[in-house]
Amino acid sequence: MHQKPGSLYWITGLSGAGKTTIGKALYDQLKSQKPNVVFLDGDVLRSVFDALHGHSVEDRNQLARSYSNLCKILTDRGIDVVCSTISLFREVHEFNRSAIENYFEVFVECDMQELIRRDQKAIYSNAMKGKLSDVVGVNMPYDRPEYCDLVIDNTGKNNIQGKIKAILNIKLVQLGDFSNLAKQYINRAAYNDHLLKTLLLYTGYLHKPNFRVAEIGPRQNMD
């Protein structure tokens, strides 16, 4: 019998952005629904692979690939994985997207001043003073995800449940289930009149006396 693959929720962002907090809350929510869920935190993973990798760009890239390979092994066995890691390399994200069937990428964004404020180890401030090198976001460049499924602004560490719900909705939308979004439909912006008229002109509706237009929105259960 073919094993149904698990899902990988790749929670990425700079140090201090709140990846671990969001990842752990997501794990708790998933774990309440199914038993085979694993949470992998970048700091813990680093301690496991530390003897094999340093902190250079190449080392960090190889380390991220090690994380990806581990996640693939687990998801191939039907296990859902939540992985909270910096790992901001385009090639790693592309590998995940091509190699892992159910891959959901979330970028946790945070204002740099807030990152510095949260930084109890003074990593950012020391890097800015030239006392530390190889600090991602200061003296080491990173690839901001271009095709991630969701960007979460976590500058204000609030509404954690709302952020978890947004992550879980990614999977529903990819499966074609928009039911959780239906209640938000009424709040959508109005259509631009000029755009509508332009689209109608392209259809040639002026020469079609019985021409009708209907908008089909998402179904909402009103019970």
Q: Is 98 a catalytic residue?
A: no
- Catalytic residue selected from 15, 87, 98, 179: 87
- Give the number of C-alpha atoms closer than 13 A to the C-alpha of residue 219, restricted to the C-beta side: 4
Helix (H, G, I), strand (E, B) or coil at 146: coil
Helix (H, G, I), strand (E, B) or coil at 136: strand
CA angle 18, 23, 24 (to 5 degrees): 105
d(CA 117, CA 145): 24
d(CA 122, CA 7): 35
The two three-digit tokens of residue 104, written as one number: 């959901």
Comparing C-alpha atoms, which of 137, 115, 138, 102 is closest to residue 19? 115
For 195-215, give one letter per residue: b (16+ CB within 10 A) or e: eeeeeeeeeeeeeeeeeeeee
Alpha helix stretches (DSSP H) within 84-192: 90-99, 112-118, 123-128, 160-174
CB distance 105 to 93 below 8 Å: yes
Residues assigned a catalytic role? 87
